[in-house]
Amino acid sequence: MAAVLVVQSSVCCDPADLSPPVGEVHGSMADVPKNLLDQIKELERLFSVDQAKLKEVTEHFVGELEKGLSVEGGSIPMNPTWVMGYPDGYETGTFLALDMGGTNLRVCEIILGEEKGEFEIIQSKYRMPDELKSGDSEELWEYIADCLQQFIEYHHEVEDLEQMDSKLPLGFTFSFPATQDFIDHGVLQRWTKGFDISGVEGKDVAPLFEAALEKRKLPVRLSALINDTTGTLIASHYTDDTMQIGCIFGTGCNAAYMENCGSVPKIAHYNLPPDMPIAINCEYGAFDNELVVLPRTPFDVIIDNDSPRPGQQAFEKMIAGLYLGELFRLVLVDLHDNKCGLFEGQDISKLRKAYSLDASFLSFIEEDPFENLSETGELFARELSLKGSKPELELCRRLAELIGTRAARLSACGVAAICKKKNIEACHVGADGSVFNKYPHFKVRGAQALREILDWPKGKRDPVDIRAAEDGSGVGAALIAALTIKRVKAGNLAGIRNTEGMI
């Protein structure tokens, strides 16, 4: 399959700057008939998460983080990453980074300069075709190798890749739950983010990837296999040493933080110094798969039952971008079919298509600046061929707010749990992902939930501040490759499998 290059440009702004007070309802409900008002109240009951529930979820979360570090383990994998400490800012060299996420494949070349914290980056994006996400394993690795080859040939202007002087060290951001006995290998635990490729789960993905590189004789050496969240932690700390947690709020959700080896019983047999740091990739999208505390609605149950992996990623399915649009869609279909006759007499066949709406649909609704919700009405007409009355659009607006707010508030529970477990009273948290960066008011809603969970005094600056992260899957991957090579040079080989050719 030929690689599909994606050329993009974007302008970023902080949606928190324009955020309304938490809980504020846009528009006037004066003209909403009683049957719709009753449904709105019921939706508020279903999707609202109060302070007491936030604290209950967080307390259970802390225990589950501890359980994941134990020998027996738990629902949250708490994967040791073999990233043994933070960069000092003086790492140098040229590195490749490969970022395999849910939508695009990104290839980067990062040059770490002589000045502390300085770097240059060149990058290209390639679309990840949907058919690859449920196709053949070999096709996946062949496509990735093809993208890498295109990138190197273009940016290094060489006709014969075998003639390059040396192999380029590569950090591979493989953003799926993987067990790592070594930093340069990883056994896929399970596919997430809509992937379901047979023959990969339970296998080490490093040799599968390396075989595709060797087949094409690419001048690339895999130095580190990382998760985007771990990369976010490392890249953010590289430019701000008060960053102690890295988070992803995007297609999926996750966090990483630095633990002491002595607090990770499941790696005790390595006999590492107890105060030696090791980054933990939580993979906490799997939090509460046992459904002890999460406030699921009937619509969350449908999403789980109809997913490729029922009973898994319970937390992620309530807060991640992949599912927000589907939650919204399911509620609207139910209101049309069973409750208040929403869009009565109209053909809702487009709305019945599973996953036809994504999180950007809700974002657009929440960003509609007009009192009459004219842009929301145009959106429904354009995308779904539906004409909504003003009261119906008010309901849709409130539903989008409820789903977006619940996601942000529950997301804060994972951050709060890590802070409580590590006794972190003040730090910066580096966050990345499409939901964090683009969903309206997500940041301010999450910050408000943190205040409620951790009982901060009013009127003072938040001691735990979630802010935009550095490029974890690009710069972070390169930094981790650099840190790995630095460890080999120093003779600290814990968790490194293949040192040949590293230096």
Annotated catalytic residues are: 175, 190, 228
Q: How far apart are CA 11 and CA 497, in angstroms?
A: 41
Give the number of other CB atoms < 10 A from CB of residue 150.
Answer: 16
How far is residue 322 CA from its own chain's centroid?
A: 10
Give the number of other CB atoms < 10 A from CB of residue 465.
Answer: 14
Closest by Cα among 169, 219, 209, 216 to 187:
209
Count of residues making up the chain? 503
Q: Do the beta carbons of residue 438 and residue 360 sit within 8 Å?
A: yes
The helix/strand/coil state of 56 is helix
Beta strand pairing call for 79-80 and 277-281: antiparallel
| Helix 51-69 × helix 390-422 angle, to 10° | 50
* Pure H helices in 423-476: 434-438, 442-454
Q: How far apart are CA 177 and CA 497, in angstroms?
A: 19
Q: Residue type at 117?
A: G
* CA diameter of the chain: 75
Q: What are phi and psi of 448, to 5 degrees?
A: -60, -40
β-pair partners for 108: 97, 123
